[in-house]
Structure 1
Amino acid sequence: MVSLIAGSAVATAAFPAVAAPQITPAAITAAAEPLRLEGEQYTSGSNPNGEALKRESINLGNTFNGTVVQFDDVDFTNRMGTLTVRAATRDDAIGANPRLEFFLDEAIAANKIADVALPTTGGWSNWLNTTVDLSTTVTGVHDVIIVMHVDDLPDRRNYVANFDYFEFGPAAPVALPEAYLTSDSPWKYSDNGTDPSGDGSLSWTTAPFDDTAWKEAAGAFGSKRGAADLGNGYIADTLLQYAQAGSADTVPTYHFRTEVTITAEELEQLDALQGELAYDDAVRVFVNGEKLAGFADDRVNGAANQNLTYAGVSAGDPATSTVRIPADKLVAGENQIAVALYQDRETSSDIFLDFKGLTPVEKQDVTTARISDLLLGVGATAAERNLAWYSDIDVPQVAQLTEASAIIDGVFPATASTFPVTSGGATSSGEFFRDATLSGLEENTEYAYRVGADETGWSTVHTFRTQSFTGGFDFLFFGDPQVGASGNLANDEAGWIDTLNVASQTYPNAEMLFSAGDQVESAGNENEYTALLKPDQMRSIPFVATNGNHDVGSKAYEQHYNLPNEDLTAGAAGSPSSSGGDYWFIYKDVLFLNINSNSRDYASHNAFLEKVVAEQGDKVTWKVLAFHHSIYSAAVHATDGDVIDRRNNMPAKISELGIDMVLMGHDHHYTRSYLIKDGQLANPDEQAAAAEVVAGPGEVLYVTANSASGSKYYNLNTGIDLWWSSVRNQERVRNYSAVEVTDESITVRTLRSQANGTANPVNSVVDEVVLRKADAAADLDVSVSASTRVLAGKQYVSVTVTNNEDVPVDAVVTTPYGAKTFTAVAPGKSAAVSINSRLGSIPAGDVTVQVTGQVGDETVTVTKSAPYAAAG
Structure 2
Amino acid sequence: MRGSGGGHLTSPTCCGCVFVTYQSLSRSDRSSPLLITDSMPRPPAAAPQRRVLRRTVTGAILFSLTAGSFAAVSLPAAAAETPEGSSSIAAAAEPVRIEAESYTGTNNGTEINGRVIDTGVETSGAASGGSRVKNTFDGAEISYDNVDFGSSALSTLTVRYVVNEGRSGLNSSIDVYLDEKTDENKVATVALPSTGNDWEAYGETTVDLLREVSGQHTVIVVMHADPKTGEADGYPNYVGNLDYLEFGLAPLPDTYLTSESSWSYSDNGTDPSGDGSLAWTTADFADWKQAAGPFGSKRGEADLGSGFVANTLLQYLLEGSTNTVPTYHFRTDVDLEADDLARLESLEATVTYDDAVRVYVNGEMVAGFADGRVDEAENQNLTYAGESAGNPVTSTFQIPAEALVAGENQIAVSLYQDRETSSDIYFDWQSLAPVEDQPDRQAEITDIVLGVGSTEADRNIAWYSDIDVPQTAQIAKAADVQDGVFPEAAVTVETTDGGQTTSGEYFRDADFSGLEPNTEYAYRVGSDETGWSTVSNFRTQDFEGDFEFLFFGDPQVGASGNLASDEAGWVDTVNVATQTYPDAELLFSAGDQVNTASSESEYTSFLAPTQIREIPLVATNGNHDVGSKAYLQHFNIPNEDLESGAAGSSSASGGDYWFIYKDVLFININSNSRDYASHNAFMEKVVAEQGDKAKWKVLAFHHSIYSAAVHATDSDIIDRRNSMPEKISELGIDMVLMGHDHHYTRSYLINDGQIADPEEQAASESVVAGPGDVLYVTANSASGSKYYNVNTGTDLWWSSVRNQEKVRNYSAIEVTDDTLTVRTLRSQANGTASPVNSVVDEVVLSRADEAADELDIEAAASTRSIAGKQYVSVKVTNNAEVAVDIVVETEFGSKTFTNVQPGASANASINSRATAIEAGEATVTATADVDGEQQTVTKTAPYSAAG
Q: 1:79 aligns with which of 85, 93, 111?
A: 93
Q: Name the aligned partner's letter for residue 404 of structure 1.
A: A
* 1:115 lines up with 2:191 in the alignment: no
Aligned match of 2:506 = 432
- Show the counterpart of 2:884: 804
> Structure 1 517/783 Cα, relative in aligned 2: closer, same or farther at 3 Å?
closer
Match of 1:172 in 2: 248
Q: Which amino acid aligns with 1:425?
A: G
2:55/2:439 contact within 8 Å kept: no
Q: Distance in 2 between matches of 1:363 and 1:508?
A: 46
Distance in 2 between residues matched to 1:73 and 1:857, nearest whole Å: 88
CA distance in 2, matches of 1:115, 1:482: 62
Secondary structure, in 3 states, of the residue corresponding to 2:746? strand
Work out the CA distance in 2 between the residues paired with 1:37 and 1:800. Answer: 98
> Quick one: which of 290, 294, 299 aligns to 1:219?
294
Contact 1:554-1:578 within 8 A present in 2 as well: yes
Q: Once the 2 structures are TM-superposed, how far is the Cα of residue 38 of structure 1 from its aligned partner? A: 11
Give the counterpart of 2:345 among 271, 275, 278: 271
CA contact (8 A) 2:77 2:91 kept: no
CA distance in 2, matches of 1:244, 1:290: 28
Deviation at 1:258, TM superposition (A): 4.2
Q: Is the 8 A contact 1:190 1:215 kept in 2?
A: no
Q: 3-state DSSP class of the match of 1:578? A: coil
Which residue among 177, 187, 192 is the counterpart of 2:268? 192
- Determine which of 49, 58, 62 is the counterpart of 1:34: 62
Is the counterpart of residue 492 in structure 1 residue 566 in structure 2?
Answer: yes
Instruction: Mark the CA change 1:832 to 1:283 in structure 2 (over 3 Å): closer, same or farther.
Output: closer
Structure 2: gaps of 5 or more residues: 1-52, 81-89, 110-141, 152-175, 183-205, 221-243, 859-878, 906-923, 927-935, 942-947
- Separation in 2 of the partners of 1:405 and 1:461? 13
Higher relative contact order (CA 8 A, sep 6+): 2
What's the CA shift for 1:186? 5.0
Which of 341, 364, 379 is matched with 1:305 structurally?
379
User: Within the alignment, does 1:529 sit opposite 2:529 as a pair?
Assistant: no
2:789 to 711, 715, 721: 715
Report the secondary structure of 2:820's partner residue.
strand
Contact 2:748 2:799 in 1 (8 A): yes
In the TM superposition, 1:237-252 aligns within 5 A as 239-252=313-326
Q: What are the residue-to-residue correspondences of 1:362-511 with 2, within 5 Å?
A: 362-366=436-440, 368-511=442-585
Paired position in structure 2 for 1:826? 897
Provide the residue aligned with 1:820 in structure 2. none
Kindly state the Cα deviation for residue 518 of structure 1 after the two structures are TM-superposed.
1.0
For 1:753-776, what per-residue CA distance to the aligned partner results, in whole angstroms no more than 9, with x for missing partners? 112222222111111111111111
Shift of 1:733: 1.6
- Check the 8 A contact 1:116/1:132 in 2, yes or no: no
Measure the CA separation in 1 of the matches of 2:819 and 2:459. Answer: 26
* C-alpha distance 147-220 of structure 1, shift in aligned 2 (>3 A): closer
Q: Is the 8 A contact 1:137 1:171 kept in 2?
A: no
Q: What does the per-residue CA deviation read over 1:400-434, in whole Å, with 9 as the maximum and x for residues that have no partner? A: 21111111232111011222212222222222221
Structure-2 change in CA distance of 1:180 and 1:762 (3 Å): farther
Deviation per residue, 1:754-805 (Å, 9 max, x gap): 1222222211111111111111126554799xxxxxxxxxxxxxx9997514
> Which residues of structure 1 form unaligned runs of 5+?
1-24, 40-56, 61-69, 107-112, 120-130, 150-167, 785-798, 810-822, 835-851, 861-872
Deviation, 1:349, is 4.0
Cα displacement (A) at 1:286: 2.1
Matches within 5 A, 1:198-209: 198-206=274-282, 209=284
Q: TM-score, normalised on structure 1?
A: 0.75
Task: Kindly state the Cα deviation for residue 135 of structure 1 after the two structures are TM-superposed.
Answer: 6.6
1:312 Cα deviation (Å)? 2.6
Counterpart residue type for residue 222 of structure 1: S
- Cα gap change, 1:82/1:423 in structure 2, threshold over 3 Å: closer, same or farther? closer
Q: How far apart, CA to CA, are the structure 1 residues paired with 2:762 and 2:302?
A: 46
SS at match of 2:686: helix
The correspondence of residues 708-857 of structure 1 with structure 2, limited to 5 A, is 708-777=782-851, 779-781=853-855, 803-808=883-888, 826-829=897-900
Listed one character per residue, the Cα deviations across residues 385-411 of structure 1 (whole Å, up to 9, x for unaligned) are 111112222222221211111112321
Contact 1:652 1:679 in 2 (8 A): yes
Q: Residue 281 of structure 1 is aligned with which of 326, 333, 355?
A: 355
Contact conserved, 1:478 with 1:735, CA < 8 A, in 2?
A: yes
Task: Write the letter of the residue equivalent to 1:826.
Answer: F
The residue that corresponds to 2:631 in the other structure is 557
* CA drift at 1:346: 2.4
RMSD: 4.0
Query: Whole-Å Cα distance in 1 between the matches of residues 358 and 334 of structure 2?
Result: 17
What SS does the aligned partner of 1:607 have? helix
Which of these residues, 305, 322, 329, is aligned with residue 255 of structure 1? 329
Q: Distance in 2 between matches of 1:71 and 1:454?
A: 30
Change (3 A) 1:244 1:89: closer
Conservation of the 8 A alpha-carbon contact between 2:272 and 2:280: yes
TM-score (norm 2): 0.69
| Offset of residue 740 of structure 1 | 0.8
> Identity, % of aligned pairs?
63
The answer to whether the aligner puts 1:682 opposite 2:745 as a matched pair is no
Are the counterparts in 2 of residues 99 and 116 from structure 1 also a CA contact under 8 Å? no
* Contact kept? 1:744, 1:778, Cα under 8 Å: no
Distance 1:767 1:91, change over 3 A: closer
| Between 309-318 and 578-587, the greater mean CA deviation after superposition | 309-318
Q: Residue 557 of structure 2 contacts residue 602 of structure 2 at CA under 8 Å; is this kept in 1?
A: yes
User: C-alpha separation between the residues in 1 aligned to 2:379 and 2:355?
Assistant: 18
Contact 1:401 1:449 in 2 (8 A): yes
Paired AA for residue 714 in structure 1: Y
Q: Name the SS for the 2:788 alignment partner.
A: coil
Pick closer, same or farther for the CA change 1:244–1:362 going to 2, 3 Å.
same
Offset, 1:278: 3.8
- Are the counterparts in 2 of residues 446 and 464 from structure 1 also a CA contact under 8 Å? yes
Name the SS of the counterpart of 1:527 in structure 2. helix
3-state SS in 1 of match to 2:179: strand
**C-alpha contact (below 8 Å) 1:484/1:520 kept by paired residues:** yes
Deviations 1:74-111, CA, capped at 9 Å, x for gaps: 4594425658696469999xxxx9999999999xxxxx
Q: 1:371 and 1:26 mapped to 2: Cα distance?
A: 23
Q: Deviations over 1:194-253 (max 9, x none)?
A: 2234444434434x6246641524326232x44566677766565433221111122110
Based on CA coordinates, which of the two structures has the bigger radius of gyration?
1
Letter in 2 for 1:79: A
Residue of 633, 637, 645 corresponding to 1:571: 645
Q: Secondary structure at the match of 1:299?
A: helix
Matches of 1:550 and 1:572, distance apart in 2? 16
Change (3 A) 1:181 1:672: farther
Closer/same/farther in 2, CA of residues 334 and 806 from structure 1, 3 Å limit: farther
Taking the aligned partners of 1:91 and 1:465, their CA distance within structure 2 comes to 70
Partner amino acid for 2:897? Answer: A
**1:601 matched to which residue of 2?**
675
The Cα shift of 1:308 comes to 1.4
- Matching residue's letter, 1:507: Y
1:783/1:801 contact within 8 Å kept = no
Equivalent residue runs for 1:137-148 within 5 Å: none
**What one-letter code is carried by the residue in structure 2 that aligns with 1:804?**
V
Q: Report how many residues are paired.
A: 721
Mapped to 1, the partners of 2:880 and 2:270 lie a distance apart of 92
SS in 2 for 1:777: helix
